[in-house]
Amino acid sequence: MKPLKPNGFIVFVQGTSILKICGGFLLFLFLIFSISGVLTSLKPEFRISSSSVNTATNKVTGKMLYHLLGWENHHLLQVLGEEKDKPTLMNFVFKLSTNINLDDPRSLLGRELPSFSIYDSKIVVASEGTDYTNMPMESTPPLEVLRAEQEATLQNTENIDPPSGGGIQVPDTGLTTGGRKVVHLYFSHNRESYLPYLKGETDPNRAYHSQLNVTKIGDKLKEELESRGIGTSVDKTDINAILNEKKLKFRESYRESRSVVQAAMAGNKDIQYIIDIHRDSRRKEQTTLSIYGEKYAKLAFVVGVDHPNYEKNLKLATQMHNLINEKYPGLSRAVIKSGGEGTNGKYNQDLSENAMLIEFGGVDNTFEELYLSAGALADVFSDFYWQAEKVNQQTQEQTDKK
């Protein structure tokens, strides 16, 4: 009689092997969570980051995901409609790995040509004479200037503080916010200065100074707004000094000013508008305008688009641009949308739907011209503000009656 053959395999597993596998898996999880915790708890200046990976992930659009999923479930492609040229997997891989879009040569040229990337910004509305060849731009100061190792001697400072009012008649309307500070001014690039006051300096990239800079415009704008009854606060935190202390690069300015704005908003619930004051790097012929026989420094509005609610900031900037140019033709150069690789893309404007970044003049403008522009801005903004307050009050009264 033949012995019966077994119908399957018999596997012997030692208990110690199972314990080793479980222990190894738990150790792996522990290391993953520990490393993640350490990386996220590091100070920003010590964190590991990759702009290439960040840019690649930002390029993954909803449409792209639909196409990827549609290769497995064709019903999803119905959402996109009929397309003649459907993308291939190779196109997706090439675009994400190189950040180059073959349909847009700017994605390649922007890396090879200096300053070409600024043309990724979009002009939403512009005054006559402003286009993509002379749109507002920022320049990064040389390292020795950023570190304040070299700083020009000041000149032409005798009449730097003009009489109150700046030549614009301020009507006594009796309107006031009382003790409420509803407008907050700050400076992400607080040392941006102007060449007429820097002895021996002619390079726009070196127009920076620790004492005489855009913060003086903030003082003037505050004075002009408060003379029209609008309570205003000014924060002159030296962001440049913070960058030096933390050994950060100039592009980190907005991240450092962000905490300053957040602290101000947390400490004052009355703040309705936040304005970041800057200086353009363009030259005088592009940033100066004569109105009614007076020379003004032109203004420009920059709107960051890398956050979900940028449309509200864009609407406000466009309104201000149009209102300014109605009363002071050509004073506002443009409203520009900015975002993507090489830019901050938010400019802290995600903190408020009433946030503005305003460029005051260029490197060659004088404070006389800048102060006139501050007065003009306050003139237009006060009309806008009190009209909005009137509408809000009427709306509230109608709501109360119901």
- pLDDT at position 114: 45
pTM over 0.75: no
Distance CA 125, CA 322 (A): 9
- If you ran DSSP here, which 8-state letter would residue 173 be given? -
Determine, yes or no, domain membership for 359: yes
Domain holding 201: CATH number? Answer: 3.40.630
- Asked whether residue 240 falls in the same domain as residue 369, the answer is yes
Distance CA 331, CA 285 (A): 13
Alpha-carbon distances, residue 384 vs 262, 273, 283, 324, 333 (angstroms): 25, 12, 30, 10, 19
- Asked whether residue 214 falls in the same domain as residue 67, the answer is no
Pairing of β 288-291 and β 294-297: antiparallel
- Asked whether residue 99 falls in the same domain as residue 190, the answer is no
Domain region containing 57: 53-103
Distance CA 215, CA 191 (A): 8
- Asked whether residue 222 falls in the same domain as residue 91, the answer is no
- Asked whether residue 176 falls in the same domain as residue 132, the answer is yes
- Asked whether residue 76 falls in the same domain as residue 132, the answer is no
Distance CA 277, CA 188 (A): 8
- Asked whether residue 338 falls in the same domain as residue 281, the answer is yes
- Asked whether residue 98 falls in the same domain as residue 195, the answer is no
What is the side-by-side order of every strand in the sheet holding 332-338?
Answer: 122-126, 332-338, 299-304, 355-360, 273-278, 183-186, 232-234
Torsion over CA: 72, 77, 82, 84 (sign): negative
| Residue finishing a domain among 103, 137, 163 | 103
Selected residue with higher pLDDT from 154 and 18: 154
pLDDT in tens, 327-377: 999 999 999 998 776 667 789 999 999 999 999 999 999 999 999 999 999
Domain count, the chain: 2
H helix intervals, 42-72: 51-58, 62-70
Among 58, 107, 49, smallest CA distance to 306 is for 58
- Asked whether residue 164 falls in the same domain as residue 266, the answer is yes
Mean pLDDT, residues 281-304: 93
Q: What percent of the chain has pLDDT over 70?
A: 69
Determine, yes or no, domain membership for 39: no
pLDDT in tens, 31-65: 887 777 776 665 554 555 554 455 555 555 566 66
- Asked whether residue 237 falls in the same domain as residue 365, the answer is yes
Q: Does residue 302 register a pLDDT over 50?
A: yes
| Residue finishing a domain among 80, 103, 126 | 103
Q: Does residue 204 register a pLDDT over 60?
A: yes
Least confident of 68-72, 91-95, 174-178, 184-188: 91-95
- Asked whether residue 203 falls in the same domain as residue 323, the answer is yes
